[in-house]
Amino acid sequence: MNSHTLWLICRRFGAGVVTLLIVSMVVFAITAVLPGDAAQQSLGQFATPEQVAALRLKLGLDQPGVLRYLHWLMNLLTGDMGQSVSNAMPVGELMAGRVPNTLMLAGATALVSVPLALILGIGSAMGRGGRIDSCLSFITLAMVAVPEFLVATLAVLIFAVNLGWLSALSYATDITSPLQFLRTYALPVMTLCCVIVAQMARMTRAAVIDQLDSPYVEMARLKGVSPIRIVLRHALPNAIGPIANAIALSLSYLLGGVVIVETIFNYPGIASLMVDAVTNRDMALVQACTMLFCAAYLALVLLADLCAILSNPRLRNQ
């Protein structure tokens, strides 16, 4: 790594902070535009006007939005993410209960899906136009097209209800043995894999094919290098940039966009926490979740770019 790369990281980091700031403003503004506020949501249908007024005063909702935003921002700078208005628990505590679950699910899914996607993508690139390629293309396209709630529900019906092999619910707690881990995580991981493997495999295939069409690969082929060696030794290192980006995008989805899977398997992750927060107009919690998603996304994209740079000798030694 050289000064150029370091500079890039610093620049990206600075841009990331600015992006987070802008995102927080936009989210704050959008949440403020939503009909009803936290006081009305928490009191429900039969609230009296004086109850709403009293609760607004207590929660500080009577202050102008800009003031509330600045107040939140100041607290954040001192490390205080605020309190959830719906149950008076610190936001940090609520997040701490969910983040490990989300990371666990995302990690398990990544461990399965990334190697699988690479193998599928490279395999179909190597047999481009052949039977394996069209077969894999058909399967991956079908997987992209089928919505995940259908995959999840069918999987539960078959493996949990009819066969009774796996658990229909996934708890992040109560896991003591590896077998239990497998039973708990198999179905959600499988469902998520269906969604993201297809995307990553398609991208990998395209990136590798792109390289296989280049003159240096033709040269290698003329020299009599074996097809496997051509792909792994010559084409793949040059395709790492786009592949890393595809993987980063898919993984960022795992961190914040898996609300359907969390709902169906009753998995207490961060995405359903965010949905709750929006429903309850719980500003501090919405902001904290958004910041987390956004930061994770930026970090993953930065990592992908670094991979691309480090894998490219021209960029690496600039």
Partner 1 sequence: MTDHKDTPELISGPDSLRVFEGLNRGMSRRNALQMLGLAGVAAAGAGSLFGSAGKLFAEEATAGGKGKPGGKIRVAGMSSSTADTLDPAKGALSTDYARHYMFYNGLTRFDKHLVPQLELAERIDNVDATLWTITLRKDVTFHNGKGLSAADVVFSLSRHKDPLTGSKVMPLMEQFAEIKATGPNEVQIRLSAPNAELPSILAVSHLLIVPEGTTDFNKGIGTGPFTVGEFKPGVRSVAVRNKNYWKPGLPYLDEIEFIAIADEPSRVNALLSGDVHMINEVNPRSTTRIAASPKHRVVDAPSGNYTDLIIRQDQLPGKSPEFTQAMKLLLDREQVKSAVFRGFAVVGNDHPIAPGSRYFNTDLPQTVYDPEKAKFLLKKAGMESITMPVMASPAATGSVDIAVLLQQSAKQAGLKLDVNRLPSDGYWSNHWMKHPLSFGNINPRPNADVMFSQFFQSKAPWNESGWQNDQFDQLLMLARGETDDAKRAKMYADMQTLVHDHCGIGVPVFISNIDGVDQRIKGYDSNPLGGFMGYMFAEQVWLDA
Shortest spacing between CB 267 and partner 1, in angstroms:
10
Say how far apart CA 306 and CA 316 lie, in whole Å. 10
* 180 near partner 1 (CB under 8 A): no
Of 23, 106, 126, 273, the residue at the interface with partner 1 (CB under 8 A) is 273
Shortest spacing between CB 260 and partner 1, in angstroms:
9
Q: Which stretch binds partner 1 (CB under 8 A): 20-28, 64-72, 198-206, 272-280?
A: 272-280
Residue 62: exposure state from Cβ atoms within 10 A (0-12, 13-18, ≥19): exposed
Shortest spacing between CB 40 and partner 1, in angstroms:
11
Q: Which is nearer to partner 1, 16 or 90 (CB)?
A: 90
Shortest spacing between CB 168 and partner 1, in angstroms:
4
SS3 of the chain = CCHHHHHHHHHHHHHHHHHHHHHHHHHHHHHHHCCCCHHHHHHCCCCCHHHHHHHHHHHCCCCCHHHHHHHHHHHHHCCCCCECCCCCCEHHHHHHHHHHHHHHHHHHHHHHHHHHHHHHHHHHHHCCCCHHHHHHHHHHHHHHHCCHHHHHHHHHHHHHHHCCCCCCCCCCCCCCCHHHHHHHHHHHHHHHHHHHHHHHHHHHHHHHHHHHCCHHHHHHHHHCCCHHHHHHHHHHHHHHHHHHHHHHHHHHHHHHCCHHHHHHCCCCCHHHHHHHHHHCCCHHHHHHHHHHHHHHHHHHHHHHHHHHHHHCHHHHCC
Size of the site for partner 1 (CB under 8 A): 41
Of 112, 113, 197, 282, the residue at the interface with partner 1 (CB under 8 A) is 282
- Which residues between 250 and 269 bind partner 1 (CB under 8 A)? 263-266, 268
* 146 near partner 1 (CB under 8 A): no
* 89 near partner 1 (CB under 8 A): yes
Q: Which is nearer to partner 1, 267 or 297 (CB)?
A: 267
Amino acid letter at 211?
Answer: Q
Of 204, 238, 280, 290, the residue at the interface with partner 1 (CB under 8 A) is 280
Q: Which is nearer to partner 1, 6 or 169 (CB)?
A: 169
Shortest spacing between CB 179 and partner 1, in angstroms:
16
Say how far apart CA 289 and CA 94 lie, in whole Å. 10
* 153 near partner 1 (CB under 8 A): yes
Of 2, 18, 33, 46, the residue at the interface with partner 1 (CB under 8 A) is 46
Q: Which is nearer to partner 1, 55 or 243 (CB)?
A: 55
Q: Which stretch binds partner 1 (CB under 8 A): 21-29, 137-145, 159-167, 210-218?
A: 159-167
Of 24, 42, 140, 238, the residue at the interface with partner 1 (CB under 8 A) is 42
* 65 near partner 1 (CB under 8 A): no
C-beta of residue 288 within 8 angstroms of C-beta of residue 81: yes
Q: Which is nearer to partner 1, 116 or 172 (CB)?
A: 172
How far lies 296's CA from each of 71, 139, 235, 253, 299, in Å?
24, 30, 30, 10, 5
* 243 near partner 1 (CB under 8 A): no
Amino acid letter at 2?
Answer: N
Interface ranges with partner 1 (CB under 8 A): 41-46, 48, 50-51, 53-55, 58, 84, 86-87, 89, 94, 97, 153, 156-157, 160-161, 164, 167-169, 263-266, 268, 272-273, 276-277, 279-280, 282, 285
